[in-house]
Structure 1
Amino acid sequence: MFEHKTFENIMLELLDRVPDDVDKREGSIIYDALAPTAMKVAEVYSDMDVLLLRTFAASADGDDLEKRVNEHGVERKPAGKAIRRALFTDGDGQPLDIAIGSQYRLDSIVYKVLERIDIGEFNAEAQSFGAGGNKDYGEMLPIEPNDKLGKAVLADVIVPGEDEESDESLYQKYTEHIREKAFGGNRADYKKKLMDLQGVGGVRLRRAPNGGGTVKAVIIDSDFNAPTPEFVQYVQELTDPIEFKGEGYGTAPIGHTVIVEGVEVAYVEVELELILNGVTLGQVEEQINQTLSDYFAELRANWFKDLDIIVRITRIESRLLEIDGIEDIASTILNNIASNITLNEEIPVLTNVTIKEVST
Structure 2
Amino acid sequence: MIAIPTEEEIFSRLISNYLAIAGPMNVDEGTIPYDFLKPVSLEFYYAYQFIQALYYALWVEYAEGENLDLAVSVAGIERKLATKAQLTLPQLKFVGIPNSEIRAGTRFMTEGISPLFFVVPETVVLDSNGVGFGLLEAEQAGAAWKITAGTTLLPVNTINGLQSVELLGNLEGGTDDESDEELRNRYWQKVRRRATSGNAAHYIEWALEVPGVAAARVFENVDGPNTVRVVLLGQNGTSPDSTIVENARRHILSQRPLGPGDDGIFVMAALPKVFNFYSKVRLLKNYSMEEVTAAYKKALQSYFTELLEYDDVEMASRTIIRTKTGALLHSVSGVEDYDELTINGEMTNQTIDSFEIPVVGTVTLEVMI
TM, length-normalised to structure 2: 0.70
Q: What does 1:128-207 align with in structure 2 at a 5 Å threshold?
A: 128-134=140-146, 138-146=151-159, 147-153=161-167, 155-163=169-177, 165-207=178-220
Amino acid at match of 1:203: A
1:279 counterpart residue number: none
Q: Does 1:342 align with 2:356?
A: no
- Please, which runs of 5 or more residues in structure 2 have no aligned partner? 124-130, 282-288, 311-316
2:109 counterpart residue number: 105
Q: Does 1:79 align with 2:82?
A: yes
Contact 2:109 2:155 in 1 (8 A): yes
1:126 counterpart residue number: 138
Q: What does 1:209-288 align with in structure 2 at a 5 Å threshold?
A: 209-240=222-253, 250-257=254-261, 258-267=265-274
2:57 counterpart residue number: 54
Contact 2:85 2:172 in 1 (8 A): yes
Change (3 A) 1:108 1:297: farther
1:244 counterpart residue number: none
Percent sequence identity over matched residues? 21
Q: How far 1:205 moved relative to its partner?
A: 0.5
Change (3 A) 1:251 1:122: farther
Q: How far 1:295 moved relative to its partner?
A: 7.1
Contact 1:89 1:149 in 2 (8 A): no
CA shift digits 1:104-147 (9 cap, x unpaired): 2124321223479xx86655332222232236772111223333
- Please, which runs of 5 or more residues in structure 1 have no aligned partner? 241-249, 276-283
Amino acid at match of 2:175: G
CA shift digits 1:269-302 (9 cap, x unpaired): x596989xxxxxxxx9x99998897677556544
RMSD: 4.5
1:4 counterpart residue number: 5
Aligned partner of residue 152 in structure 2, secondary structure = strand
Q: Does 1:310 align with 2:320?
A: yes
Q: How far 1:73 moved relative to its partner?
A: 1.2
Counterpart-to-counterpart distance in 1, 2:352 and 2:153: 38
Change (3 A) 1:130 1:56: same
Aligned partner of residue 46 in structure 2, secondary structure = helix
Aligned partner of residue 347 in structure 1, secondary structure = strand
Change (3 A) 1:70 1:32: same
Change (3 A) 1:16 1:68: same
Counterpart-to-counterpart distance in 1, 2:169 and 2:293: 24
Contact 1:84 1:156 in 2 (8 A): yes
Contact 2:93 2:168 in 1 (8 A): no
Counterpart-to-counterpart distance in 1, 2:301 and 2:120: 31
**How many correspondences in the alignment?**
333
Aligned partner of residue 54 in structure 1, secondary structure = helix
2:37 counterpart residue number: 34
Aligned partner of residue 232 in structure 2, secondary structure = strand
CA shift digits 1:14-45 (9 cap, x unpaired): 43245345332222233223322332233223
Change (3 A) 1:101 1:309: farther
TM, length-normalised to structure 1: 0.71
Counterpart-to-counterpart distance in 1, 2:221 and 2:49: 56
